[in-house]
Amino acid sequence: MPNLANIEHNPPTFDNGIGLYLHVPFCQTKCPYCDFNTYSGIEDQIPGYVRALEAEMRGWGSLLNRPPVRTIFLGGGTPSYLPAEYIRDILAVIKESFKLERPAEITMECNPGDVTPENAAMWLAAGINRISMGVQSFDDGLLALLGRRHTALEAKQAFNALREAGFQNQSIDLIYGLPYQSVEQWSDTLKQTAELEPDHISLYGLQIEQGTPLAVDVEAGKYPVPDDDLAADMYEEAQRKLAVSGFEQYEISNWAKEGFESRHNLIYWMNEPYLGVGPGAHSWLVGQRFANLKSPRRYATVVGSNYELVGADPVATMHAPAGPVEQVDITTPAVDITETMMMGMRLNKGVSYKRFVKRFGVGLDIVFPKEISRLLDLELIEVTDDAVRLSERGRLLGNEVFAEFIGEE
């Protein structure tokens, strides 16, 4: 393990623009496998939440003097479940509070059941220009097992309706490694996905998260424990099939048509600055990593009241009990290097030597000589002129590679 105590630390500034993430903690129903900070049956809290979210964005905009924003991502939860008028109002407040780059990528996560011609028109008019649709599978039996509210046909109809409405950048999310799912079923879902001609595809291997209803069912023997080898076969099937269909893999879990990589997620993977607003949202800004209080009700109460926006340190100013920020982590050079490696190695292009020196004042091969040599021997990484990156084999064993780059002080 490298010693990172004496590394220069130049956390990124936000002069080149930040990513803005908005967390929407509402879903019509809670899927049994989901452990995100999202809730069903609290729709009465939506108006208070939107007021608080707008107040939080105005607060940051004023404290940071309208920082430039490159990308916006409305995630959750289910942002499309919010009445479309709220989406319009929220986007208007963003435009007031931040300097929006043109063209900024503005993504909204969407469930198929929320797509109507009226909603689509209002989302477009509000400025949403990228949709990320939670399809998960094109097998109705598996959709039912996942507790999803849509059928395969409804997902296709929603996707096509958004295309017709004018959305030219659409991503589809799929999950693999599901109980009872065969490679053939998965392959068929990939085929049907490719036939829809999305611009981007994200694939997630099912994780059984502690405390979820699915974890309880697996523990009780109602469903089999997921088979990692089978999931690895599905991943390789996706790599083959999506390449043939014209998608380029650019990250461990993401594929895109040329020019349609997610600009917002690239900010995370390149460890560049972002601001998260809304309950439980995380940020990496002004050299600090921090997180908002998680409960939607507390968030709305705290941020909805008049908090004072004074102070030299914007994160301290926004700290609870006066503001939404609940937890601030000390970002040492070791943390920043570890994050840079763990996130950057997820990208097919890997971590650039040049960018690394620029950020830390020392070469990647100086900080990690033993680690790089060991991973090269194991054929888990490759070294190019410009970068260190995962090999084909390494992509299947990513966690082993990432563990090598966890630093200590």
Per CB under 6 A, residues contacting ligand SF4 are: 27, 30-31, 34, 36, 38, 76-78, 111, 134
Please, what's the b/e burial string for 191-201 (b: 16 or more CB within 10 A of its CB; e: otherwise)? ebbbebebbbb
Reading phi first (left if > 0) and then psi (alpha if -120 to 50, else beta), residue 85 is in alpha
Reading phi first (left if > 0) and then psi (alpha if -120 to 50, else beta), residue 109 is in beta
- Report, in Å, the least distance between residue 41 CB and ligand SF4: 12
- Report, in Å, the least distance between residue 357 CB and ligand SF4: 39
Structure tokens belonging to residue 198: 């999305």
- Report, in Å, the least distance between residue 147 CB and ligand SF4: 7
- Report, in Å, the least distance between residue 37 CB and ligand SF4: 9
Q: Which is nearer to ligand SF4, 175 or 341 (CB)?
A: 175
- Report, in Å, the least distance between residue 35 CB and ligand SF4: 8
Count CB atoms within 10 A of the CB of residue 220: 8
Q: Which is nearer to ligand SF4, 107 or 340 (CB)?
A: 107
Looking up tokens 């600009």 gives 263
- Report, in Å, the least distance between residue 75 CB and ligand SF4: 9
Structure tokens belonging to residue 208: 């059984």
Q: Please tell me the distance from the alpha carbon of residue 308 to that of residue 285, in angstroms, as a whole number.
A: 20
Report the sign of the C-alpha dihedral through residues 230, 235, 240, 245, in that order. Answer: positive
- Report, in Å, the least distance between residue 29 CB and ligand SF4: 7
- Report, in Å, the least distance between residue 38 CB and ligand SF4: 5
- Report, in Å, the least distance between residue 157 CB and ligand SF4: 18
Q: Which is nearer to ligand SF4, 187 or 207 (CB)?
A: 207
Give me the sheet containing 288-292, strands edge to edge: 248-251, 254-256, 200-205, 170-176, 130-136, 99-110, 68-76, 18-24, 274-277, 282-285, 288-292, 325-329
Q: Which is nearer to ligand SF4, 9 or 282 (CB)?
A: 282
Q: Which is nearer to ligand SF4, 135 or 342 (CB)?
A: 135
Q: Which is nearer to ligand SF4, 111 or 292 (CB)?
A: 111
Q: Which is nearer to ligand SF4, 40 or 62 (CB)?
A: 40
List, in sequence order, every beta strand (DSSP E) within 60-210.
Answer: 68-76, 99-110, 130-136, 170-176, 200-205
Please, what's the b/e burial string for 325-350 (b: 16 or more CB within 10 A of its CB; e: otherwise)? bbebeebebbbbbbbbbbbbbbbeeb
* Kind and range of the H or E run holding 123: helix 117-126
Residues 331/341, Cβ–Cβ less than 8 Å: no
Q: Which is nearer to ligand SF4, 27 or 155 (CB)?
A: 27
Q: Which is nearer to ligand SF4, 134 or 296 (CB)?
A: 134
Strand-pairing partners, residue 283, are: 290
